Structure 1
Amino acid sequence: MSLHPHAGQLPTPDMLTDVPSLVSAYYTDFPSPAEASQRVSFGTSGHRGSSLDLSFNEEHIYAITQAVCDYRASHGIKGPLFLGGDSHALSQPAFRSALEVLVANDVHVFIAPDGEYTATPVISHAILSWNAGNAGSAQADGIIITPSHNPPRDGGFKYNPPHGGPAETAVTRWIERRANEHLEASNRAVQIMHYRAARQSSRVKVYDFTARYVDDLADVLDMPAIAASGLSLGVDPLGGASLPLWEPIAHKYGIALSVVNQEVDPSFRFVPCDKDGKIRMDCSSPYAMSRLLSLRDRFDLAFACDPDADRHGIVTHEELMNPNHFLAATCWYLFRTRTQWSKGSGIGKTLVTSAMLDRVGEELQRPVVEVPVGFKWFVPYLHSGRCALGCEESAGASFLTHDGRPWSTDKDGPLLCLLAAEMMAKEGKSPSAVYAGLTERHGAPCYQRLDAPADTKVRNVLKGLTVEQVDMQELAGERVESVITHAPGNEAPIGGIKVMARSGWFAVRPSGTEPICKVYTESFAGEEHLRHLQKDAIDLLDRLLQQA
């Protein structure tokens, strides 16, 4: 993809989303369940869409929320539901719609104080804290209204069951099917209470998500070490839900932390355009992060989170760290410093995360558990302690507390940002320097993901692949060592294929949220070898499509 001329630059007025029209369409436009694109569809991380495309309108939220209530009733979930949302334009209207349905269904709902956004990890931590303190009684769950780092025109809806993490596939399929049944019946079975009455109901309680999260941070991070180091830290919330957290963290723990951007605007006009010219609040993109990168010499370390704060972006004096690089440094640092963790606890990684983590795991003598894409796969392993850390290449991770309890079972951006500060405080060098030390011992991999349009045929071919269909004997000039369509960590299908050789690998899978095919490649033998891997991957995909 060629670089858009506005990449890394602030958007011009004509590039901004028309927020009034977007919100108006949410309430006034009605989807047709006969159209596939207008039905409820849960991807890797919930249902996403836009009111302008008739894929995220009030009728969708009524149907999905009623389906969640139906699921709770049929599965005996009777505790409170923690409801939060981020700063996307469609999040507040969807929050109101969801509350109308939840209260009408006699659900006790905990919400943040008026006007305060709630980050994904804050909801996850609240669920886990409640359920740990109320063991044996009614268990809590949660809903987060967010499309994560998607453009401003999008909306999203995620459900987290009592385990605190993203709902597993069986659960989202149940909710998706029931929600579409409601849509097909014109939502006649949906129970709704007017928002004002719902908001004033005794079933709705204000909950201090920020205090719960901030007060507990010392359970999972060495906050005194960060404070004692005197490190100068800068943070850009990118106009998102991490904004309420940073000043309370700095105040409580005495950290020299500055919030460099306190703007919140649903057009996200202050976020530089991504490589394709779209406004995308992706804290791992050097283009979206160009403003923070320009300030890196002002701070010892800087970082950012996306709008729902489930992703992290780490800026050192040297660079915006590649997420794979920072996660490798994280593994090396955590398993050397968390002495209370079980010796049998391992590193959880998705199958498209860098193989550097496998090499670090071998050095640390820790098992590496490889699962399909999606943080939901780590949830049972964080609870059981089989994995002390779960991470994925798209800058998402969480890890256990000092004493081995799950902190959050969803991705946690602020946690990883503050871990970068702890790492620098205690190691006396930046996370970039820590990663450089790993490359001296294990090699310096080249990693790249390519995206291509993918229609229904392509997606179905990839999802139905078997190992026997792949006739490759060599990969980039080396003998193919393994071909997998199921993740080795849990034998779950990966929705595509991964081919590995001694010096590199590739994986091909359809996106769970967009009509694209993703081709991941990594080489430990240089850029030219990486190009060879990519050619072999595309050639295989072409052959498979011709045979279909």
Structure 2
Amino acid sequence: MANKEDVKFGTDGWRGIIADTYTFNNVKRVALATAKVFKNHPKIDNGIIIGYDTRFQGRQFAETVASVIASEGIKTMITDTFVTTPAVSLLSRDLGCALGVMITASHNPYEYNGYKLKDEFGGSMSIEEIAKIEHELGSISNVEVKESFASLVERGAIEYFDGRGYYLKYISERIDIDKIKSANLKVIYDAMYGAGQDLIGNFIEVKQLHGEVNPSFGGGAPEPVRKNLDEICNDMKSGSYDIGIVTDGDADRIAIIEGNGEFLDAQKTFALLLKYLFEKKKLGGKVVRGFSTSELIKKFCDKYGIELVTVPIGFKHISKIMITDDVLIGAEESGGIGIKGHLPERDGVYNGLLYLEMLAEYGKSISELKNELNDEFGEYFYQRNDVHTTEEKKIAALEKCKRLKAGDEVGGKRILEIDPLDGFKLKFENGWVIVRASGTEPLLRIYCETSGVDETAEVLSKTIKFLGI
């Protein structure tokens, strides 16, 4: 019998290993629980939109979800091909849906798939609504769908929707494509075999890497972090390119490569977009940042009198504020960025095009813009290590952190203050370390920032040693 514990929702939905916990029956259970929770939603007559990315059996899992929801008498729409997660968010909002469901495991390794929920505003589903779905799951074991997907489509209970076409038209009306074209930028785009493939190339000429469907993602994970990006970095170094853009599996996260082939960390990626929106676009509003983002953002906001809000890790916390407040930009350290006037949601393709618009507007290279930031606010060097460990060692490490106090020494640094907003943030004179347990995997995430690249690596290494993991 299926167990509720088979399905565990983390900071961004449910993810599981295909054929282990991510089975067709568990997907049907989650879909039925979703239908039961949302059947009385004020917008349920407008239906539920379902999308999927390029992962293994993504379309089949999406069709399964659609069949379960349609069998409950709910209007159901499914995209006619793979789409990005932000496209499903956009459709959920613009079509007036009760919610959107996206079949994706985002940047996880190829053996995973998942189930993301997007609310009626196009943002991350609230913790409260997800808790209701988890509660409903407890009373659902095996789910039988009496009518086939094909039959439900034939009688109009499930409708196809051109999600890709709608998204492209929307983007074309919000990004200055003509300005980008006139700048004659040389661009490489790495789609990481994900749902973003061909989208940027729809607007401008690009050299595209990994722009085909490959559910094994070349044997790795479609995550835009430096260790996965040797090919694009080497291509940038060997050619005369202005920028490299990378999106993850479902194209909500972004990474930027400088013209010299250097990886621009996500903290600087966030900071440069903030600078552009404030300085050139003259936009106002709060800045909302995840707990593990750079002090560079705080310095920028302090200097220019911008209100800064810090929230726990997980874009859903940022999304919640973007829905209710006047927010200029919201971002997390992993390359997820939400922009005013678009969605309360991350969007790698939109942000990549915004980067091109920024370069066209400034007429400067990324390196020049980054150096201007460094001259104005000082240099910051950030690094994150995800350390796989045993459950026992993880618990012991967290207990060690609980016992720490101001004045203690960790990583060769004296602690000035401890912030427990999400995990443990140990603040030092010229930097900080965060120790935090993953919500979905057996690991500890260790984040560190100081004013020196070697210093950051050293503090990180010493902290991991101190924790005994």
Q: Tell me whether the two structures share a fold, i.e. TM-score over 0.5.
A: yes
1:129-168 to 2 correspondence within 5 Å? 129-131=94-96, 139-168=97-126
Q: Is the 8 A contact 1:462 1:509 kept in 2?
A: no
Q: Distance in 2 between matches of 1:265 and 1:478?
A: 45
Are 1:280 and 2:221 an aligned pair? Answer: yes
- Secondary structure class of the residue paired with 1:390: strand
- Secondary structure class of the residue paired with 2:217: coil
What one-letter code is carried by the residue in structure 2 that aligns with 1:357?
I
Q: Distance in 2 between matches of 1:293 and 1:452?
A: 25
Are 1:471 and 2:429 an aligned pair? Answer: no
Q: Distance in 2 between matches of 1:531 and 1:424?
A: 34
- TM-score, structure 2 length as denominator? 0.91
2:252 match: 310
**Pick aligned residue for 1:514 from 422, 434, 441:** 441
| Residue 99 (structure 1) shift | 1.3
Q: Distance in 2 between matches of 1:169 and 1:59?
A: 24
Q: After superposition, what is the alpha-carbon deviation per residue over 1:515-534, rounded to whole angstroms, capped at 9, x for unaligned?
A: 10111111125523652365
CA shift in 2, pair 1:360/1:221, >3 Å: farther
| Residue 219 (structure 1) shift | 5.0
2:3 match: 33
Q: After superposition, what is the alpha-carbon deviation per residue over 1:378-433, rounded to whole angstroms, capped at 9, x for unaligned?
A: 123222344211111111112012xxxxx122210101111211111111122232
| Residue 315 (structure 1) shift | 2.0
Q: Distance in 2 between matches of 1:454 and 1:173?
A: 28
**Pick aligned residue for 2:270 from 327, 331, 335:** 327
Q: Distance in 2 between matches of 1:207 and 1:457?
A: 48
| Residue 84 (structure 1) shift | 0.4
Q: Is the 8 A contact 1:48 1:157 kept in 2?
A: yes
| Residue 332 (structure 1) shift | 1.3
1:502 match: 429
Q: Distance in 2 between matches of 1:515 and 1:480?
A: 27
Are 1:95 and 2:37 an aligned pair? Answer: no
Are 1:267 and 2:201 an aligned pair? Answer: no
- Secondary structure class of the residue paired with 2:22: coil
Q: How many residues align?
A: 464
2:206 match: 257
1:531 match: 458
Q: Distance in 2 between matches of 1:284 and 1:142?
A: 28
**Pick aligned residue for 2:82 from 102, 110, 117:** 117
Are 1:59 and 2:59 an aligned pair? Answer: no
1:124-523 to 2 correspondence within 5 Å? 124-131=89-96, 139-183=97-141, 186-187=142-143, 192-218=146-172, 220-248=174-202, 250=203, 255-269=204-218, 279-285=220-226, 287-296=227-236, 297-318=239-260, 319-339=262-282, 341-342=283-284, 345-401=285-341, 407-456=342-391, 469-475=403-409, 480-486=415-421, 494=422, 496-523=423-450
- Secondary structure class of the residue paired with 2:383: strand
- Secondary structure class of the residue paired with 1:181: coil
Q: Distance in 2 between matches of 1:386 and 1:483?
A: 30
1:272 match: none
- Secondary structure class of the residue paired with 1:299: coil
Q: After superposition, what is the alpha-carbon deviation per residue over 1:470-527, rounded to whole angstroms, capped at 9, x for unaligned?
A: 32314566654432212xxxxxxx2x11121230111111112211011111112552
The CA RMSD over aligned residues, in Å, is 2.6
- Which segments of 5 or more consecutive residues in structure 1 lack a partner in the other structure? 1-30, 132-138, 270-277, 402-406, 487-493
CA shift in 2, pair 1:309/1:533, >3 Å: closer
1:43 match: 10
- Secondary structure class of the residue paired with 2:140: helix
CA shift in 2, pair 1:533/1:147, >3 Å: closer
Q: Is the 8 A contact 1:66 1:191 kept in 2?
A: no
- TM-score, structure 1 length as denominator? 0.78
| Residue 218 (structure 1) shift | 4.8
Q: After superposition, what is the alpha-carbon deviation per residue over 1:111-161, rounded to whole angstroms, capped at 9, x for unaligned?
A: 222xx2110011112222233xxxxxxx43100000012122111111112
Q: Distance in 2 between matches of 1:197 and 1:141?
A: 24
Q: Is the 8 A contact 1:81 1:142 kept in 2?
A: yes
Q: Is the 8 A contact 1:388 1:399 kept in 2?
A: yes
Larger displacement relative to structure 2 (171-180 or 41-50): 171-180
CA shift in 2, pair 1:83/1:197, >3 Å: same
Q: Distance in 2 between matches of 1:398 and 1:235?
A: 20
Q: Distance in 2 between matches of 1:388 and 1:447?
A: 24
| Residue 459 (structure 1) shift | 5.9
% identical equivalent positions: 23
Q: Is the 8 A contact 1:83 1:143 kept in 2?
A: yes
Are 1:70 and 2:36 an aligned pair? Answer: yes
Q: After superposition, what is the alpha-carbon deviation per residue over 1:41-85, rounded to whole angstroms, capped at 9, x for unaligned?
A: 001111111234x21001110000001101102544412211100
Q: Distance in 2 between matches of 1:266 and 1:529?
A: 36
| Residue 536 (structure 1) shift | 4.6
2:74 match: 107
Q: Is the 8 A contact 2:179 2:357 kept in 1?
A: yes
CA shift in 2, pair 1:538/1:107, >3 Å: farther
Q: Is the 8 A contact 1:284 1:323 kept in 2?
A: no
What one-letter code is carried by the residue in structure 2 that aligns with 1:511?
S
CA shift in 2, pair 1:466/1:172, >3 Å: farther
What one-letter code is carried by the residue in structure 1 that aligns with 2:222?
M
Q: Is the 8 A contact 1:466 1:485 kept in 2?
A: no
| Residue 180 (structure 1) shift | 3.7
- Secondary structure class of the residue paired with 1:182: coil
- Secondary structure class of the residue paired with 2:199: helix
